[in-house]
Amino acid sequence: MNATRRPKLELLSEPLADQIIDEGLTLLERHGVLVENAEALDLLQAAGAKVDRGTGVVRIPRRIVEAALATVPATITLYDRSGEQAFVVGGDEVHFDPGSAAVTMLDHGTQSERKATTADLVAFAKLADTLDHIHFQSTGLIATDVPSSIADAFRLYAGLCLSAKPVVTGTFRVEGFRPMKDMLAAVRGGDDGLRRKPLAIFDACPSPPLKWSNLTTQSLIDAARAGAPSELISMGMTGATSPTTIAGTLVQHVAESLSGVVIGQLAEAGSPIIFGGSPSSFDMRKGTTPMGAIETMMIDMAYAQLGKRLKMPTHAYMGLSDAKINDPQAGFETGLGAVLAALAGINVVSGPGMLDFESAMSLEKLVIDDGVCAMAYRLIEGIAQRDDPIALGVFEGFVPGMSFLTHPHTRRWYRTEHIQPGLVDRDPYEAWVAAGRTSIVDKAHTDVAKRLQAYASSPLPKAVRRELDDIMSGYARSLGAEFKPATLF
Amino acid sequence: MNKAEIFRQMSEAIVAGDREASRRLAEEAVRSGFDLPEVIEQGYVPGLQRVGELWEKGEYFLPELILSAEAMKSAMAVLEPALGRRTTSAMGGKLVIGTVEGDIHDIGKNLVASMLQAGGFEVFDLGADVKLERFVAKAEEVGAQLICLSALLTTTMAAQKRFIELLKDRGLRGKYKVLVGGAPASRKWADEIGADGYAENAVAAVKVAKSLAGRA
């Protein structure tokens, strides 16, 4: 039997990839990064980096970066809430999760964006829980009816209560990490349990060009010490906050990301870090950051290739769209992104459900995109040889006009070889007319309601839930905010 | 070189976004004792108008726009001191601009500020994440006519509305013209909150500002 080739697409030639990494390292040595966090400056200085205390600029010699790359794990294993199901984040494994931190919801009824509330957050978490091809949940919506000071932790609280899937999340303020980590640890029965079986990924976003803010640096340090994976989200905008060429932006991406790897490894050697990002091809007409631009996807695929070359797990924001409603643009940008991300072997792909750059979440789109993800997973399974000989056995006893429908070979393999991807329309025309000429968006809207009705995720054990409520209450109290244990879930 | 040729070169320097040439020509004009209001209006402003046309035709993009604005600023830096107290119809008056509180996005705002400055306004740019109170304080301090508020997030655009209310509370609403802009803003939004103007891009912003300042 011949081995199955897993389809893979690499955009950079090896020499070009090496030169980009080399220039990134030179950039760190020569110009350095601005670090606005005292603890990180101490760590960097102690490791031998040249720290200018006046400006906060740190020049990092290659040997420090190389030492960090030697200790950063190539693979991370995330576990679901029960601690039983494992997800390997590394190699060419691909896991989709909904795009995160949307500020608005696309309301299907009005076809307009509106602020999200706790009720939306609940619906979103429940829906993501029901979707088979969305492997991780994300704290993907900001509930505006919750005090903004506790909004970061509240998203995680809701997610942990409503779904067993691993979580992609992040902090909005320095104080936010502690209660979020405490809730995750509560689920695992303690800090050690969380370290052994990570449940959540924390996003850490450097500010382009070449700056680490206090918030994001602290999140990186805190996560490293808790053994929680951090996802580095470098986000140069070509020609605005990073060089306009794709290769030039990649150099900056490497420098920003590797300085993050250094900070994380200095905080705790061996701490899990994902080479991620949210760069974009800056639109020179509108001044916007299109995530659906083909050049954005090219940058994503290329930095993922570089991340793999550096033996790190990877992440990207792909499989999302800049469209404002679920129109053809929303579909093709999402489809292109999901397929290209899968072909690039990107480990964590955040995007499904998202519209309007990274700012709006659509429940209908999330359901539609689940089908897109199904197709992308199928694609990278590749074409397998199931039998040997491949087909000669099937043709034994061949007669002209023979049908394969009833052939045992068909029943043996059709479900493995072919998938039924979600809500796409495959009706004959007359059947489609008879069924009311519904679009995929209308079907999705109905499907959302059906799924929310059928949602039946097992709740958190009562004692754990009480712990989470207490952690949230304490956090809110410490900030003078009001928090009542949610009654919606 | 005759005056017409120098004016043509000034216009070209703006269209090409050539800061160096733009400044050098301005210095030459001052040295030669040219009528400076005429230099601005017939030398540089036609260049800016051409840039606006090229933008609207889709031939110019943000980098060209910003470079042209920079070239205009480098000329004005030479011409303004030499003008002394004289003003020209190309000079617009004072305005205060900034991105509202809670919002750190400033690329669009910077661009609009640059274009307004190039368009002859004296621009007081307060930066990003600006407390509403500071817009008022600065406008009062410098005697501005216009206040421009940028917001890039749907969550922060509400500050534009609160600002109008703040002006009303202070009894200052009649004193200033308020322009709003940024990705989530729209004509409809401006009308809804009672702002005086809205522009969808930096080129349009200059037109709106000029018209509100009574110059168009």
Q: Evaluate if residue B85 carries a pLDDT over 70.
A: no
Q: Evaluate if residue A260 carries a pLDDT over 90.
A: yes
Give B17-66 pLDDT, tens digit per residue.
999 999 999 999 999 999 988 898 899 989 988 998 998 899 999 899 88
**Residue A175 per-residue DSSP state:** G
Q: Is B21 on the interface with A (CB under 8 A)?
A: no
- Find, among A393, A436, A449, A386, the residue nearest to A412 by Cα: A386
Q: Are B85 and B121 within one domain? A: no
Where a domain ends, among B36, B60, B89?
B89
- Kindly tell me the sign of the dihedral angle through the C-alpha atoms of A270, A272, A276, A277: negative
The percent of residues above 70 in pLDDT, for chain B, comes to 96
The structure tokens 């050049």 sit at A295
For A315-354, letters b (16+ CB in 10 Å) and e give bbbbbbbbbbbbeeebbebbbbbbbbbbbbbbbbbbbbbb
Q: Evaluate if residue B163 carries a pLDDT over 70.
A: yes
Where a domain ends, among B41, B72, B89?
B89
pLDDT given for residue A201 in this prediction: 97
B216 band by pLDDT with thresholds 50, 70 and 90: low
Give A70-104 pLDDT, tens digit per residue.
999 999 999 999 999 999 999 999 999 999 778 89
B108 to chain A, closest Cα gap in Å: 7
Strands A57-59 and A33-35: antiparallel
A476: helix, strand or coil:
helix
Q: What is the residue range of B84's domain?
A: 3-89
Q: Are B62 and B105 within one domain? A: no
Instruction: Note whether A278 and A233 are within 8 A (CB).
Output: yes
Asked if the Cβ–Cβ distance from A287 to B155 is below 8 Å, we say: no
Q: Are B82 and B97 within one domain? A: no
pLDDT given for residue B106 in this prediction: 77
Q: Is B104 on the interface with A (CB under 8 A)?
A: no
Indicate the average pLDDT of chain B: 89
Asked if the Cβ–Cβ distance from B154 to A285 is below 8 Å, we say: no
**CATH number of the domain enclosing B208:** 3.40.50.280
Q: Are B100 and B35 within one domain? A: no
Instruction: Note whether A125 and A158 are within 8 A (CB).
Output: yes
Mean pLDDT for the stretch of residues A260-271:
98
Q: Evaluate if residue B111 carries a pLDDT over 90.
A: no
Instruction: Note whether A210 and A33 are within 8 A (CB).
Output: yes
| DSSP collapsed to 3 states, A325-341 | CCCHHHHHHHHHHHHHH
Q: Give dist(CA A103, CA B158) in Å, integer.
A: 14
Mean pLDDT for the stretch of residues A177-206:
97
Q: Give dist(CA B103, CA B155) in Å, integer.
A: 9
Instruction: Note whether B167 and B178 are within 8 A (CB).
Output: yes
Where a domain ends, among B53, B68, B89?
B89
- Listed by start position, the domains of chain A span 1-385+419-489
Best mutation target, B107, B109, B186, to test chain A (most A CBs within 10 A): B107
Give A224-235 pLDDT, tens digit per residue.
999 999 999 999
Give A315-329 pLDDT, tens digit per residue.
999 999 999 999 999
Q: How many angstroms separate the first and last alpha carbons of chain B?
A: 32
A241 to chain B, closest Cα gap in Å: 9
- Find, among A261, A193, A169, A256, the residue nearest to A224 by Cα: A261
- Find, among A273, A208, A260, the residue nearest to A238 by Cα: A208
Query: Helix B19-31 vs helix B3-16: angle between axes, to the nearest 10 degrees?
Result: 150
Give A201-247 pLDDT, tens digit per residue.
999 999 999 999 998 999 999 999 999 999 999 999 999 999 999 99
Q: Give dist(CA B124, CA B109) in Å, integer.
A: 12
In this structure, the number of other CB atoms found within 10 A of the CB of residue B114 comes to 21
pLDDT given for residue A369 in this prediction: 98
A62 band by pLDDT with thresholds 50, 70 and 90: very high
Q: Give dist(CA B77, CA B37) in Å, integer.
A: 14
Domain count, chain B: 2
**Residue A238 per-residue DSSP state:** B
Residues of A in contact with B183 (CB under 8 A): 288
Q: Is B107 on the interface with A (CB under 8 A)?
A: yes
Give B170-191 pLDDT, tens digit per residue.
999 999 999 999 877 888 899 9
Taking each continuous run of H as one helix and of E as one strand, the counts in chain A are 16, 18
Give A10-42 pLDDT, tens digit per residue.
999 999 999 999 999 999 999 999 999 999 999
B86 band by pLDDT with thresholds 50, 70 and 90: low
**Residue A85 per-residue DSSP state:** S
The ipTM estimated for the assembled molecules is 0.78
Q: DSSP string spanning B15-61?
A: HHT-HHHHHHHHHHHHHTT--HHHIIIIIIHHHHHHHHHHHHTT---
A144 to chain B, closest Cα gap in Å: 9
Asked if the Cβ–Cβ distance from A103 to B107 is below 8 Å, we say: no
Indicate the average pLDDT of chain A: 95
Q: How far is CA A136 from CA A95, A311, B145, in A?
A: 7, 22, 53
Give A331-369 pLDDT, tens digit per residue.
999 999 999 999 999 999 999 999 999 889 999 999 999
Give A275-314 pLDDT, tens digit per residue.
999 999 999 988 889 999 999 999 999 999 999 999 999 9
Q: Give dist(CA A262, CA A182) in Å, integer.
A: 25
Q: Evaluate if residue B120 carries a pLDDT over 70.
A: yes
Q: Give dist(CA A195, CA A199) in Å, integer.
A: 9
Q: Is the peptide bond before A61 cis (omega within 30 degrees of 0)?
A: no
Of B58, B62, B154, the CB nearest to A113: B154
The percent of residues above 70 in pLDDT, for chain A, comes to 100
A156: helix, strand or coil:
helix
A420 to chain B, closest Cα gap in Å: 38
pTM reported for the whole predicted model: 0.89
In this structure, the number of other CB atoms found within 10 A of the CB of residue B42 comes to 18
Q: Is A239 on the interface with B (CB under 8 A)?
A: yes
Q: Are B201 and B167 within one domain? A: yes
**CATH number of the domain enclosing B50:** 1.10.1240.10
For A136-150, letters b (16+ CB in 10 Å) and e give bbbbbbbbbebeebb
Q: Are B104 and B73 within one domain? A: no
Cβ–Cβ pairs < 8 A, chains A and B:
25
Q: Are B96 and B158 within one domain? A: yes
Q: Are B60 and B142 within one domain? A: no
Q: Is B17 on the interface with A (CB under 8 A)?
A: no
Asked if the Cβ–Cβ distance from B183 to A288 is below 8 Å, we say: yes
Residue type, A454: A
Domain A1-385+419-489 sits in CATH at: 3.20.20.480
Q: Are B74 and B28 within one domain? A: yes
Q: Evaluate if residue A169 carries a pLDDT over 80.
A: yes
DSSP percent split of chain B into helix, strand, coil, nearest 5: 55, 10, 30
* Number of residues assigned to chain A: 489
Q: Give dist(CA A435, CA A450) in Å, integer.
A: 18
Q: Is B56 on the interface with A (CB under 8 A)?
A: no
Q: Are B101 and B132 within one domain? A: yes
Q: Give dist(CA B64, CA A173) in Å, integer.
A: 38
Q: Evaluate if residue A429 carries a pLDDT over 90.
A: yes
